[in-house]
Structure 1
Amino acid sequence: MSSNSFSNQGVLIHELVEIQVAKTPDAIAVIFQDQQLTYRELNEKANQLAHYLKSLGVKPDVLVGVCVERSIEMIIALLGILKSGGAYVPLDPAYPKDRLAFTIEDTQIPILLTQQKLARSLPLYQGHSLYIDADWEKIAQQSENNSFSGVESHNLAYVIYTSGSTGKPKGVAIEHRNTVAFIDWAKEWFSAKQLQGVLASTSLCFDLSVFELFVTLSCGGTVILAQNALQLPDLPAAQKVTLINTVPSAIATLLRMKGIPASVETINLAGEPLQNSLVQQLYQLDHVHQVFNLYGPSEDTTYSTVALMQKDATETPTIGRPISNTQIYLLDSQLKPVSDGMEGEIYIAGAGLARGYLNRPDLTDEKFIPNPLSKEPGSRLYKTGDLAIRLPDGNLKYLGRIDHQVKIRGFRIELGEIESVLVKHPKVSQTVVVAREVSTNDKRLVAYVVPNSTSEPTRQNLMIRDLRDFLKLELPDFMIPAAFVFLEELPLTLNGKIDRRALPIPKWTCMEQGVYLAPRNSRETQLAELWSQLLGVDQPSIHDNFCELGGHSLQAIQLVHQVNEIFHIRLPLASFLEMPTIAGMAQNIESLYHADVAQLTKNEETEVELDSAIYPENILTEPIPEIFLTGATGTLGAYLLYELLQQTRADIYCLVRASSIEEVRAKIQNALKRYGLWSDRLSTRIIPVLGDLSQPYLGIKPEQFARLAEKIDLIYHCGAWVNVAYPYSALKAANVLGTQEILRLASQTKTKPVHFISTIDVFSVTSSNTLRTIKEEDVAGPTSSLGNGYAQTKYMAEKLLIEAASRGLPISIYRPSNIVGDSKTGICLTDGFITLMLKGCLEMGVAPDIEAMLNLVPVDYVSQAIVLLSQKQEPCTQAFHLVNPEPIEWKQLIEWLNKMGHSIYLDSYTTWYSQLLKLAAQTSDNTITPLAGLFANQYLVQKLLGAFYFDSQEPLKTLATSNLTCPPVDDELLLNNFSHLLKYHGSCKSQLLTTHSGGLISV
């Protein structure tokens, strides 16, 4: 089965673009948000880059890495590399460092083309890093004329890495002639009108991007860049999109969102099995004229077959016939053609076949074999591993895979690669990963795990979190299983192979004593229905725990909001989280939270008293102190650990809650890697300590606690359970009693100064909207005035510290204001409270006119300030406010967003909140509708944003003498921290918020 026609033999990819530049130099080539380039401008900039790359030694078949965010610069980078004669190797900035490091090592790229903002998040690289942003001034000095590179059609154009069954990704090496043959077909198949505006939403690491970019630029169309397909409705140029090229699951979501613009006439779907029901829904849009189903592996340059779906058809969609320049064979195990209607494996031949796999001659020989059915010298077949039958009309019907490769949301995944990583975990004995179809266009990965030892259910929950963290070190997010199922052994067939059909379907159930207790009244029945819809479980028992059924914090907020709407009440989220069962919710729906606050206020003076046994002993000073640190896996804690490693020669003992020392070590490493702070050379000074702040003696055996007290000389207590939605009673053990255990450690054997990380929220009274001026010597609290349980616990912890200080223990307290991301990169806090608030307001087009003073301090500045102040000050009892002398008003931040091109106006808080409630009632996808209950308290929202002026001259002077000043709140700081918001606003919802202490709030 074949189709042949190739009119551009010998032509190069960039030459096709140059031909189009000559035809339509002033036409718009690419649009990204509010930026655009004409064909002439794109070509000139790409030429300048090409000449510069050639000066660095780039020539035919030289590989150049490309790691840039989606932007116009990304298009310039690709075209510039091709024009220089080199071949590009895409590296997705969102991938784990380990995976990027593997690609860099495997390709041995001499040059990495990236952006300076990404430098810190990239793996160590010994070659030449060229920053397309920071280095553009010298690049721009090069000629704007077309570059002659000496490249020929058989030279490489790009290398894309795909999942590997052995756990080792493989690079598919594509030559210019392969891509040109593909472009040649596309220009014949699609009209210039269809390609007038093409949505480019696919990562460069996937070959659908080749169609979106190079087909479009070769025919005079406009590339309309997006971060992902679901961003389409929010694009300024959305109404210019004429063709969408994506996967069925994404188009189905766009359809549900009513997000397909009226300008779209053609839709290309590939990467997943296509359902006819989806096709017919698309055709119900009057403006959609053609829906194509396409099939093809990366090894055959994007697409190999095509089928035009028919309107009103009832048959299962086929993958059609071969595109031009391509031959499709259905062969049996003996490489003999099968009869029509018989199952056979798909083998592909033709002009699109890749050179092979980079640096994998064995795999190349296995998959790219001599073509026994052709007399043409050198003809090859690619063995796809896909099964199909040929129908009487000549079209191919796709049946599935021979092996365990799957495609989920268009991502090609070798299940063996996930298994090979997972089995390396020290607690995993055996594992198998499968893809299960939950519903139409919703397939999810499930990992079945046989642990080395039997775990209790609560331990299994901890292990699941650890397994996810472990996998994220090496695998991109789309390869992380959605569910983990623990088995005593894997089921086997009679011949000893794993029986995948016998693997149980994941189901979250956790019934008290294994007994199902049905709802006892109408209220419990309504709640059970809500739980079932939200969690996807059948018949939850009234005593089932919400979290153990798989519920997460964002779902808890959604549930409470729905309950408030249905029952016409104002149930605080905290009340539910104290007793997260249907029975508890029904019984205590109105009183739990208020009873909790009232009880704390009544008994504040006697609530917690410092243990009388805690008295400091003789002070011992070491020339190089051993340091004890809590909270090292949190955001501020990770930065604090990094600064202590940089600024001291001490060994750092890090207390982390986990199930093993190995898990502690992995969590610390994961945290540092997440923020680009990890360094192998410092790892020997990190001493993992297995423990738990909420337990007596920090969860350490008393004899080990005593030995630790002998070793360490200095304590930084940064750890806490940070959650503004949880009540005081839920947080007390970790935050208050945990602090008492820290003081016990500080006082035992020898006196150790304690540096305690608190929060400015200890001054957050919610009875007034007046902005206060705060000084270091001001007294915090009292608890009755504080608006949330987290602030109450920090206030009570400070009272314990002050009592310990009165007994002679050196204490320093640090109270940061609104911690934001790294001042240079913006890394870490893309989903903080302020960011979520801004997202929601952007989506509404309106923000509340609220008096709030945002005091933004970058996390790297806070960590540096704590270490510097702790080193400069003599042991004493003192509080330091780590604040920014140049705050910004909430209204100013809204004005800045408008200056950046957004449209958002201010309205009264009452009017704004009413609009938010209407959206919540309509089950709107607005980012903050699940938080509607939180926004009921205007004063609390004001405090979370910022309600203080600060008089903090002394610490600022001390820091200034060491040349450490807080970065001003200017365009650079705002862009670094909110660029993610500006690019992605509305495209995702967060499960985490950030409070002023820099910890994480599960909400």
Structure 2
Amino acid sequence: MVDLPDPTIDLDWSGYVGAIHEIFHKNAQSHPDRPCVTETKSQTTPTRTFTYRQISEASNTIANHLHDAGITNGDVVMIFAHRSVELVCAFMGTLAAGATVTVLDPLYPPQRQQIYLEVSQPKALISIGKAVDENGPLAPVVQKYIDEELSLKTQLPNLRLSDAGVLSSGEQDTEDLFASVRAKASSLPDVIVGPDSNPTLSYTSGSEGKPKAVLGRHYGLTRYFPWMAERFNLSSESVFACLSGIAHDPIQRDIMTPLFLGAQLLIPAKEDIQHEKLSEWMNAWSPTVTHLTPAMGQILVGGATAKFPSLKHVFFVGDILTTRDCKVLRKLGPSCAIVNMYGTTETSRAVSYFEIPSAEADPTALDSLGDVVPAGWGMHNVQVLVVSRDDHNKMCGVGEVGELYIRAAGLAEGYLGEPEKNKEKFIENWFVDNAKWVEADKASANGEPWRQYYKGPRDRLYRTGDLGQYLPSGAVQIRGFRIELNEIDANLGGSPLIRDCKTLVRRDRNEEPNLVSYIVPEIAEWKRWLEAQNQEDVEDEGVEMGSSVVYLKRFRRIQAEVRDHLKARLPVYAVPSTYIVLQKLPLNPNGKVDTPALPFPDTTEMMEDASEEDLKSWEALSETEKTVAAQWATLIKGLNEKTIKSESDFFDCGGHSLLAQQLLLNIRKNLGVDITIGVLYANPTLSALSTQIDRLKSGQAPMVDKAAEAVYAKSLDELVNTLDAKYQSADPAALSPSAGATFFLTGATGFLGAYLVQDILSRQNTKLLVHIRGVKDTAAAKERLTRSLKGYALWQDSWADRIDCVLGDLSKPRLGLDDASWKQVADKADVIVHNAAYVHWIARYEQMMRSNVLSTIDAMKLCNEGKPKILSFVSSTSTLDTEHYVNLSDKETATGRGAVLEEDDLQGSRSGLGTGYGQTKWVSEQLVREAGKRGLRGAVIRPGYILGSRHGGVSNTDDFLIRLCKGCVQLKARPRIVNSVNAVPVDHVARVVIAAGLNPLPGVNVVHVTAHPRLRMNEFLSTLSYYGYDVPEVDYEEWKTQLEEFVSAGAVEKDQEQSALMPLFHMATSDLPSTTRAPELDDRNAVAVLKADAERWTGVDDSAGEGITREDIGRYLRFLAETKFMPLPTGRGRELPPIPAGVAEAQAQFGVGGRGGAA
């Protein structure tokens, strides 16, 4: 039996070890002359070693200065940081003053530095002299913010520790800043801290945009050190290497662990922390312990030949650790045990571990592991709980997937200034009554001074947002990080440019495994893409290689597009390095892909010819660019150096992290300059990298664009400044059936738009202004709208006098409205429903920004002119399609508050969105929500799948689920997939959109539209058999094979049958059970607006939500059959439900049913 955690046992809630600065001070008194911190030599400075006495006295000097300046418990002190002994002194001095330390990295762009200042509001600023020496003073915009917006109690502008251990920081009025406190250097200030004092302020990942600030607790800082010392044989004899990023919370572990133990800390020079040199440094200085991120681990081993036999433990934190990286590390450090640790900023320290013995102790230790090292077991008095997603009162058993919670006494306090977020993420343990621990604590209390800063036992769980499962060993495996080939293919197949694909692991000429994707292009989409990019197609009949035809020239540009598509959806290590474009995938007699017949990467090497255009571009390159291009070509398989252009990107050409290390080594050997990995990642194009090389060769330092961010995120930062400083705040109470309401609607002729019109005009005393594009006059506009509504069998003649149309175009300023129309809307509209959008899955953000983003800003400008207006903005769940949110979508984290909360600020999508459409919706959402902070009233509505109406069965034939139904009927089989389907009838979606517009919550809030109840996919598809279609349920793999065979045997022409299958083929030939998973969505705001709508407008309470029933699907099938989209069923089963007379005829007559008219 596996001993799984019991969530009711005592985890020693009052087991406070003490404050780290107090423990360090005692160590300094016990062994003052022991080496404490060593700065190893650099190109410009010698090795410097400082004793415990010297570091303690320097720290105490800072602490007493801060204390005398009025810094007290809870004040934040920000350090302008540098990896140096001064950082250790500033860190410990701040803690000894009772303050909260936070770190500012000089490499952050000024805008990011200012954001950290805004969030943290420090009361003191310490600038380390070396940080200023290397990076210059703070940027003017940052200094201006400090001078004008902060109320600093003190500043230490130039902190330095001399070789003799004398601390200085400049002068004030010609007097030494530390003059008044130097006599106190041997003692701590008279400050008391306790377990719930806040020693640190750390930040969530910068990829989340405006960071969340996490307050640490003194309890958590020292909580696990005694156990770690015993478990991993750490002691005062250990020697630690300081390699973590200076502004990331692992730096706290680098500094505090040795100081707690009385051990020595080694700080390498900046130039030693890069490829090859880091291993040489490790060999020379012989640290026994270090903490690394997996990325830093790759720098340690990349290109390395020097071994480091003294290293005994490497603790990996911060990302996924692969066994491949471990294998290389074990060769260079044979005595080194590898410990994979799992934790987050919110857990204060890593809270679980999985140890891999050293190669000397167990040469086969990696053999039983998969691609990814597990998160392991909870540390001492820490529990990693896997809780059932169906019943939160139940723990999962072995192999059962559930939601991960961390139960520990050392959790962080929470997010600074975000009480609602804290309630969501830091949850009182519902398995046990916390009063039990409170009583036990009272009995053990002994009048300790620190109890004035102790809130008592708090049995809390941190909700990680991850899914996991217990392994048979009792360890926890976090799901979602294993490199699965079918997951890569699933994401490849999601690109409209790809018709078919197959990803394999192939070994190159050096026997190194590489991910290789074989792709078959979708020709029609390729031509549309070329047209959108204003590019010409290339003549290329391909080269026969065995049974395959390989295209070497024609689709060269598709590879960068595909790589970008995957980068937005997969971890970097799961993005293939090589893409081979085939006419079709070879099949074996069983109809499966004939893997042995696929050409090996090396077979296509050196076969790519340079075109005349390529040769002209080659001649225009500088000599440095040509040399660098040649280096790329030697490393990247199949790359002809003369096809590389100035703007070519090393990583887009097939480079990856290990090749990057090799490239830097080759550049050093062949060009005599030392480029760092950071410079390469910041300058990946041939031109930019060559420029940096030329700068170094001429004796200049490289310039790195530290502010490089995704185009759409940068666009947001710019567009925020164009918003009005203040918005009129409309009063929804002024709108009622008696007072009336006038709506302005965009996108009225699309599928959802038609039902929005119906919902608006079905209400008492409402009028409608409709935005119509592409017609010559208002009469034609009204005719177009009328035809659309008649096509959906919605039109009522009584509506005619309540509708006015205005002519416009989303792609033009002010929505394309002329002055008179703009004024008409500004003066008359009470509610703006912005439903229109340019929908395209290939177009880039820049191409869609005008229609989707700027139109939203224009809609908000309308809200601010004339009468005050409420904005109801229809968004899309494509705003969740980043690695962060796609992982949630792949994991269906459900029950309770839901996987994606309505109040989630969506900063997890600030980078990584792969489609221009999703990017525009994300930027628009952010702008609308920002306007809400400035007074705008309204809502952002995010629906799931929008299926047919509840009554008429009218359906959108472009919908994924509708096409899946047709595909199953064509195959005469349906797959067994048990994922839930978040599908909602279109008329309910329309109800929520309008209800949110008439009854908004204060400000701007997100309103999720989610199904209640949800069907599972197998239930949804089983209705086909229920109504007489011959579609027996089969295993997914069998269904997939049938689909592959069907498509392979199908006609090339895009007839109706083919068009139903091809959009499915990308997903279906990879892993539909994974790609169709969806999270539960929090919809409390939706419930609130629907209840208010029932009370104030409709008298019908729709707050319970809507789902799709078997009868609804039957009506959809009846509609689809009567409109000739699908055949009628011929087998035994229930008769399809009737639909209102004339619905199908209306669709045929007026030609609706797809997504047309959305813009």
Provide the TM-score with structure 2 as the length reference.
Answer: 0.38
Provide the TM-score with structure 1 as the length reference.
Answer: 0.44
